[in-house]
């Protein structure tokens, strides 16, 4: 029993029980996508809310739904009146009306150790058998349940507003930097020349792992294989041998990496290892500053243009030919050097703002957990 449940047990106005003793739980009949009706009269609720429409409903009243399959296993929804609920959601409702539905909703959001009911790593799932033993505490009085729900509703509404504002400010900080970045590369002046990336850059392909090269993979070592996944997380899951791969596939921390397939158009630096075939190494000529190129490849105008061109293919891919054909307005090296300083200054400022808003979002999340803890330990 958790500490807050023990506190509640000592309060004579609260009841301690299990979900199986207090609630009815079942998974309704599932209908497939082909059974749904585009303009059906009733919403269909799946694992994560409304997934379509149907000509019939299987629940006239709103129901508390717990996602019982997939990555969002354990999340909570409440269906609309007259809805079809599929078997990807578990309907949970109080027996004999002992627990008000909204109170039960908040219980699942923070008063139940739902993780104990989740099994399966590759495909997480919740079963009724696993839910039934979970212990819960609740006030015997429905009026008291309503009072707690009212307090939480008001507090969570304010927190939602604060969260939306913080998320908006975080988005604005990122947009501000992107807008500034674009302006740096479009304010033409004396000495600028129009050219192409192929004239001022060299591209080097990463290592293709196939039946002929898989022998180059080793269990551990000093040379990580840099796939897009590894670049994004700054981790290493696979390694390559010290020899046998194209030397131009090797990158060091100062060199620019550009993703060409899958998640196309991402730019990385500060990594060391052997590139996977889904990336290029981009090496600038002497008339193009490496730092300037690193930021130029991230400017919104270029990113939007090349991504749109790459996605026209059946298999989205930024080829050597496509990359090299893209135009670039190139300023003198003096301007490039000065621009880098301004970009770094702006980036530091916007990163400072992003950190502030991310910390605020984390604090709001912690406050939600604290409020739920107080609610189910009889402290509000």
- Alpha-carbon dihedral of residues 355, 358, 363, 367, nearest 10 degrees? 170
- Interatomic CA distance for residues 55 and 83, integer angstroms: 10
Query: Within the chain, which residue ranges are assigned CATH 1.10.287?
Result: 141-192+331-380
Q: What is the mean pLDDT of residues 308-320?
A: 85
How many other β-carbons are positioned within 10 Å of the β-carbon of residue 330? Answer: 23
Question: What pLDDT, on a 0 to 100 scale, did the predictor assign at position 10?
Answer: 47
Residue with tokens 């129901």: 63
Query: Within the chain, which residue ranges are assigned CATH 3.90.220.20?
Result: 3-140, 196-298
Q: What is the mean pLDDT of residues 119-142?
A: 89
- Interatomic CA distance for residues 235 and 249, integer angstroms: 18
Architecture of domain 196-298 in this structure: Alpha-Beta Complex (3.90)
Tell me: pLDDT of 3 over 90: no
Over residues 325-375, the pLDDT tens digits come to 999 999 999 999 999 999 999 999 999 999 999 999 999 999 999 999 888
Contact between residue 82 and residue 57 where contact means Cβ atoms under 8 Å apart: yes
pLDDT band at 12 (very low <50, low <70, confident <90, very high): low
- Interatomic CA distance for residues 111 and 106, integer angstroms: 7
Which class does domain 3-140 fall in? alpha beta
Which class does domain 141-192+331-380 fall in? mainly alpha
Average pLDDT, the chain: 90
pLDDT band at 163 (very low <50, low <70, confident <90, very high): very high
Tell me: pLDDT of 1 over 50: no
How many other β-carbons are positioned within 10 Å of the β-carbon of residue 288? Answer: 21
pLDDT band at 189 (very low <50, low <70, confident <90, very high): confident
Q: What is the mean pLDDT of residues 231-256?
A: 90
């Amino acid at each position: 029993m958790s500490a807050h449940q023990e506190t509640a047990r000592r309060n004579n106005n609260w009841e301690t029980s299990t979900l199986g003793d207090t609630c009815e739980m079942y998974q309704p009949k599932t209908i497939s996508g082909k059974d749904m009706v585009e303009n059906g009269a009733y919403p269909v609720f799946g694992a994560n809310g409304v997934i379509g429409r149907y000509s019939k409903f299987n629940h006239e009243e709103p129901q508390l739904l717990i996602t019982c399959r997939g990555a969002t296993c354990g999340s909570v929804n409440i269906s609309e009146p007259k809805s079809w609920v599929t078997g990807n959601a578990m309907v949970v409702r109080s027996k004999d009306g002992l627990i008000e539905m909204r109170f039960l909703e908040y219980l699942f959001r923070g008063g139940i150790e739902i993780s104990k009911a989740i099994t399966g790593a590759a495909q997480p799932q919740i079963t009724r058998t696993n839910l039934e033993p979970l212990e819960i505490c609740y006030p015997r009085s429905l009026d008291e349940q309503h009072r707690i729900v009212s307090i939480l509703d008001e507090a969570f509404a304010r927190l939602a507003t604060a969260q939306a504002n913080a998320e908006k400010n975080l988005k604005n900080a990122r947009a501000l930097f992107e807008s500034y970045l674009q302006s740096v590369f479009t304010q033409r002046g004396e000495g600028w020349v129009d050219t192409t990336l192929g004239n001022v850059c060299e591209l080097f392909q990463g290592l293709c792992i196939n039946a002929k090269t898989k022998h180059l993979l080793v269990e551990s070592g000093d040379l990580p294989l840099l796939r897009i996944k590894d670049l994004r997380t700054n981790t290493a899951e696979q390694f390559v041998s010290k020899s046998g791969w194209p030397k131009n596939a090797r990158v060091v921390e100062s060199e620019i990496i550009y993703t060409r397939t899958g998640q196309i158009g991402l730019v990385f630096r500060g990594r060391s290892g052997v590139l996977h075939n889904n990336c290029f190494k981009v090496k600038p000529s002497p008339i193009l500053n490496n730092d300037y190129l690193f930021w130029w490849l991230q400017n919104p105008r270029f990113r939007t243009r090349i991504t749109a061109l790459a996605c026209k293919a059946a298999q989205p891919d930024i080829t050597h030919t496509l990359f090299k054909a893209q135009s670039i307005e190139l300023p003198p090296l003096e301007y490039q050097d000065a621009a880098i300083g301004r970009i770094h200054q702006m980036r530091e400022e916007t990163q400072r703002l992003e950190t502030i808003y991310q910390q605020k979002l984390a604090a709001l999340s912690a406050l939600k957990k604290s409020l739920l803890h107080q609610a189910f330990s009889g402290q509000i």
